[in-house]
Each structure stands twice: as structure tokens, then as C-alpha cells.
């Protein structure tokens, strides 16, 4: 009961601030709204008995990713007026892809059930949450895990290659 | 009707939070005095000595001054963020202490009630401390941006870049500690170092000292203290992100900075110097000491170790010159991170083959 009340508090704040992310004019204010959304998601992870994911969510997303966003925003001095320019010629594509995403989401919602049965883990096992995640990640899901690592490596190398090309053009 | 025991637990948590909060609010008073006295001693001068005996009342004079100063908000500042930023810097600094253990438990004699000397023993304590501690950066970034001043903005930018760079090394150091102590809970980490100073993570040879150095350098950078205090480099940036702040709002930033220094000292003690464990445990010599006395004795050791670290931070501040920005980035990315990667490997191999 109490858990549900908390869930609704977090969920409502998360949705409201998520809307604020896309509606606010200043990119810095968007970033603040994004921080609030991510913190609410972390809180929901705690309600789901997953403190490890919650801590990682705060650590990685709030602590690092949004800081990088802010760094880019401040470095490029993105103001309100420049945000509009970023949608140039992509309005149609943007609408199509977001409507498509919603259709897929609705389809999945209509097929699945909203209340999933709890997994096979008891409260006692969940107290060692981190250990459980670690073991599952490196045994059962080792293949997807390695694929994700490879993907990240590709992105990393790609970023370096792009920067190197840029340097060559400027003659540096 | 909930049980009486539960109500007592909840009330106790509130009392503990209140006490810790009060201590943290008061702590900057003696710390500013100490910092100036240390500065005076290192620079061969007296330091504060007029207000009260040995200048002991100087922090109170400062407090009155900061409270009475006019609070200026620049015309073109983002008013909302400008007011929010000092609080954003301060709250995470306080929130970190929820997970910090000053001791294990204290059994109150007579009624046999086990009193916990920490607010919460989280099973993800290390991650919590690093994650929440890292949020203090937003105060600096937003403060710098909202001031609408080029010096403040540059200060905020530098801070963001610096923090991203050193967060990686700091997390690696935390991984090292977790590998050495085999737990993410701060209480468990301290317990794994019990029995004598040779069990401390610092003396987990050969990797312990390396981890400590990585942690120490990265955390210095993380809390923006000399030699890594580029966000408030007075030579080039006015006073960096807090150039436009005055009065009480400015003092919130200073408060956050002092508490961050305490946090880092506490973390260094918990991670590497055995927390509340005394350097030599009487139990190893077969001497039996009542558990209650050991708890109080442990708290004494904990505070003593933290004070030593705070002194070292002040000592460094008045001894070392500031790094250049490119040097800062070189240290972070080209030295600390490769060294941490190698040390992770060595620590992992040690865990596999030595235990």
C-alpha cells in the first residue's frame, strides 16, 4: 500500500519532468528536468528491490552523462533560439518515428500483462542483489554482455577516428 | 498499531540524522580556523589571533560578517538557478554521511539494546557514496552558468571536465577497494580490515598503496582543492564559479567545500585505514576488553584518523602550486587511468591465486 503511494509519487514526478525536458526553452532547464526524471527512475528501482541498479543509475546517468550534456551545452552556448533550428527538415521523420515508437509500445502493452509475477528470488536472496546481478551477467547473459561491450568499443573507436579526421583537415 | 520496537528504531534514525546534520553544520567553524592557523604556520605568520584567545572566535566573526553582507544577484542572472545552485552544492555533501559508519555497534549495558553507530548500512554503500558525492558538481556547474559571467561559466566548464576525467579514476580506486575487501558495504569494508594495521587495505601489498595514491589524487581533483582547484583559479578566472556570489550564498559553497573535504578524509579512512579499527587490536594478544570500551575507543581512532587526513589536505593546499589545465588532463587520462587498469588486473589475479 505505502509502496504503491510512493510508486505513484515517483512516477508522476518522472513523467511531469520528462515532459518538462522536451518543452522547456532553455537547454539548461531541460537538463535539470532530465536529472529529476533520472532520479525518480532510480527511486523506482529501489522500490523494485534493486539498490544496485538505482545506485548505478544515479552514478552513471545523473553523475556523468548529464554532466557531459551540460558540458556540451555550455561549451557550444546553445540558447533557446538555436534549439528550433535543430529540427530543420526533420519534422516529418521525427513525427513518423515517434508515432511508430508509440504504436510498438501500445502493441506490446496490449499483448503483455501490466502486472508481472515476481521472479524466483526471495527477499533473502535480493539482499545480496549485487552478487545476483553479477553472477547472472557473467554466466547466463555473457553473450549479450559481450555484444554490448563490443558496441561500446566500436563507438569509442569511432569517436576517436572522427576527431583524428577533424585534426587532419585543420592541418594540426 | 506498529510495534514499539519499530517506532523506537524510526525515532532513533531521526535523532541520528539530526545529530549528524548538526555536527556537519558546525564542523566548518573549527575547520576554517584550523585552515588559517595551518596556513599561518606554513607561511611563517600568526594567522587569526585577534578575535578571542588564539583567534578561536574568528569563525563566528566571519559568520556574522557573511550573514550581514548584502546578497547580490546579478541583473542578467538566471534567478531561479542562481538561488538553487548553492543548495545543490550543499545537499549531496550532507547526504553522503547517511552511509558513513563511525563505528560498528554499541550494546547499551543493562537493557542489552544494540545501538548502531551508523545511520544506514547499505549493501551498495560504496556506490551510493560515490554517486551522491558526485552530484555536488551540479552546484558548481549551475552556479557558474546562472551567474551569466564569463569567469563563472569558465569555472563551471572546467569543473565539469575535471570531474568527468577524475570520476573514472576515483571509481577505479573504489573498485580496487571493493576487490580487496570483497564487499560494497562500508561497514563490511571496515570489518574486513580488522585485527591490526597490517590488515588495512593500505597494506594489501603490493596493490594497496597504489590504490590509495590513485584514490587520494583523484579525490583531491574531485573536490576541487589545490593543486587541482582550476574551477576557482583566482589568477585567471576571478574566483571562478562563485565570482558573482556574496554573503550567505557564497558561504553555502564554502560549507559544501569543507564538508567535501571531511567526506574525502572519512572515505580514505574507511577505504584504506581500517575505519574505526585501532592499529593494534588487544584481542590479538589475548587481552579481553569489554565491547563497549572497544566501541568508544574505536570512535576515538576514527576521529583521530580523519583529523590527520584533514590536516594533510590543508598542508597540501599551502604547499603545492596549482597545475596547468593540460597537466591536469594528462594526469587524469594518461597516468591515473592506465595505472588503475593495470592495478585492477593485478588485484584480480591476487584475489584468484592468493585466497
Nearest CA in chain A to B144: A74
Pairwise CA distance, residues B155 & B243, whole Å: 9
CATH of the domain at A5: 1.20.120.1200
Verify that B237 and B308 share a domain, yes or no.
yes
Average pLDDT value for chain B: 86
What is the number of structural domains in chain A? 1
Pairwise CA distance, residues B191 & B198, whole Å: 13
User: Is the CB of residue B90 less than 8 Å from the CB of residue B139?
Assistant: yes
Verify that B344 and B263 share a domain, yes or no.
yes
For A55, the closest of B127, B138, B161 (CB atoms) is B127
Asked, for residue A104, whether it belongs to a domain, the answer is no
Asked, for residue A61, whether it belongs to a domain, the answer is yes
User: Is the CB of residue B261 less than 8 Å from the CB of residue B221?
Assistant: no
Give the range with max mean pLDDT: B59-63, B113-117, B242-246, B290-294.
B59-63
Helix axes B291-317, B247-272, angle to 10 degrees: 120
User: Is the CB of residue A73 less than 8 Å from the CB of residue A28?
Assistant: yes
CA distance A61 to chain B (A): 10
Domain range holding A45? Answer: 1-78
What pLDDT was estimated at residue B283? 75
Verify that B86 and B24 share a domain, yes or no.
no
Closest among A133, A125, A122 to A54, alpha carbons compared: A133
User: Is the CB of residue B267 less than 8 Å from the CB of residue B177?
Assistant: no
Verify that B3 and B147 share a domain, yes or no.
no
pTM over 0.95: no
Domain range holding B12? Answer: 1-68
Closest among B227, B328, B313, B206 to B263, alpha carbons compared: B313
Verify that B47 and B152 share a domain, yes or no.
no
One DSSP character per residue, B295-332 reads HHHHHHHHHHHHHHHHHHHHHHHTTSPPPPHHHHHIII
Closest among B62, B12, B2, B1 to B32, alpha carbons compared: B62
Verify that B108 and B32 share a domain, yes or no.
no
Q: Do A51 and B134 touch (CB under 8 A)?
A: no
Asked, for residue A157, whether it belongs to a domain, the answer is no
Asked, for residue A98, whether it belongs to a domain, the answer is no
What is the number of structural domains in chain B? 2
What pLDDT was estimated at residue A20? 93
Using the 3D structure, point to which of B46, B68, B90 is the last residue of a domain: B68
Verify that B63 and B86 share a domain, yes or no.
no
pLDDT higher than 80, residue A170: no
What pLDDT was estimated at residue A155? 94
Nearest CA in chain B to A59: B131
Verify that B5 and B89 share a domain, yes or no.
no
B13-54 per-position pLDDT tens digit: 899 999 999 999 888 889 989 999 999 999 999 888 888 888
ipTM confidence score: 0.83
Amino acid at each position: 500500500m505505502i509502496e504503491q503511494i510512493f510508486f505513484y509519487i515517483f512516477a508522476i514526478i518522472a513523467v511531469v519532468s520528462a515532459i518538462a525536458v522536451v518543452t522547456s526553452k532553455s537547454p539548461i532547464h531541460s537538463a535539470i528536468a532530465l536529472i529529476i526524471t533520472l532520479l525518480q527512475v532510480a527511486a523506482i528501482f529501489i522500490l523494485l528491490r534493486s539498490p544496485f541498479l538505482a545506485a548505478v543509475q544515479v552514478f552513471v546517468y545523473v553523475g556523468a552523462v548529464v554532466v557531459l550534456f551540460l558540458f556540451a551545452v555550455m561549451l557550444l552556448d546553445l540558447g533557446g533560439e538555436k534549439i528550433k533550428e535543430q529540427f530543420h527538415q526533420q519534422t516529418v521523420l521525427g513525427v513518423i518515428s515517434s508515432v511508430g515508437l508509440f504504436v510498438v509500445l501500445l502493441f506490446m502493452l496490449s499483448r503483455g500483462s501490466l502486472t508481472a509475477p515476481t521472479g524466483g528470488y526471495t527477499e533473502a536472496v535480493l539482499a545480496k542483489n549485487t552478487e545476483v546481478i553479477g553472477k547472472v551477467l557473467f554466466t547466463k547473459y555473457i553473450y549479450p554482455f559481450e555484444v554490448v561491450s563490443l558496441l561500446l568499443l566500436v563507438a569509442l573507436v569511432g569517436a576517436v577516428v572522427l576527431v583524428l579526421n577533424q585534426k587532419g583537415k585543420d592541418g594540426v | 498499531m506498529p510495534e514499539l520496537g519499530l517506532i523506537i528504531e524510526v525515532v532513533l534514525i531521526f535523532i541520528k540524522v539530526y545529530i549528524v546534520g548538526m555536527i556537519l553544520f558546525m564542523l566548518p567553524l573549527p575547520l576554517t580556523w584550523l585552515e588559517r592557523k595551518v596556513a599561518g604556520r606554513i607561511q611563517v605568520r600568526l594567522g587569526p589571533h585577534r578575535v578571542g584567545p588564539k583567534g578561536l572566535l574568528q569563525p563566528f566573526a566571519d559568520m556574522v560578517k557573511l550573514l550581514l553582507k548584502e546578497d547580490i544577484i546579478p541583473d542578467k542572472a538566471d534567478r531561479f538557478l542562481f538561488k538553487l545552485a548553492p543548495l545543490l552544492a550543499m545537499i549531496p555533501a550532507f547526504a553522503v554521511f547517511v552511509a558513513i559508519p563511525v563505528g560498528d555497534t554499541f550494546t547499551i549495558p543493562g537493557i542489552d539494546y544494540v545501538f548502531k553507530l551508523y545511520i544506514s548500512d547499505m549493501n551498495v554503500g560504496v556506490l551510493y557514496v560515490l554517486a551522491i558525492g558526485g552530484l555536488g558538481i551540479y552546484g558548481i556547474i549551475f552556479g557558474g552558468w546562472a551567474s551569466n559571467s564569463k569567469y563563472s561559466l569558465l569555472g563551471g566548464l572546467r569543473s565539469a571536465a575535471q570531474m568527468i576525467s577524475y570520476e573514472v579514476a576515483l571509481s577505479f580506486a573504489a573498485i580496487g577497494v571493493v576487490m580487496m575487501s570483497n564487499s560494497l558495504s562500508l561497514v563490511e569494508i571496515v570489518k574486513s580490515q580488522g585485527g591490526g594495521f597490517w590488515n588495512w587495505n593500505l597494506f594489501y601489498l603490493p596493490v594497496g598503496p597504489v590504490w590509495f595514491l590513485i584514490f587520494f589524487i583523484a579525490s583531491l581533483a574531485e573536490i576541487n582543492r589545490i593543486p587541482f582547484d582550476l574551477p576557482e583559479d583566482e589568477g585567471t578566472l576571478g574566483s571562478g564559479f562563485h565570482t558573482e556570489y556574496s554573503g550567505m550564498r557564497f558561504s553555502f559553497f564554502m560549507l559544501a567545500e569543507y564538508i567535501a573535504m571531511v567526506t574525502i578524509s572519512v572515505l580514505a579512512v574507511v577505504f584504506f585505514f581500517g575505519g574505526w579499527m585501532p592499529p593494534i587490536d588487544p584481542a590479538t594478544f589475548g587481552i579481553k576488553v569489554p565491547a563497549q570500551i572497544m566501541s568508544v575507543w574505536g570512535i576515538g581512532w576514527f576521529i583521530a584518523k580523519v583529523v590527520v587526513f584533514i590536516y594533510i589536505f590543508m598542508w597540501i593546499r599551502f604547499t603545492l602550486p596549482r597545475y596547468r589545465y593540460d597537466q591536469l588532463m594528462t594526469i587524469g587520462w594518461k597516468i591515473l587511468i592506465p595505472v588503475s587498469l593495470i592495478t585492477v588486473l593485478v588485484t584480480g589475479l591476487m584475489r584468484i591465486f592468493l585466497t
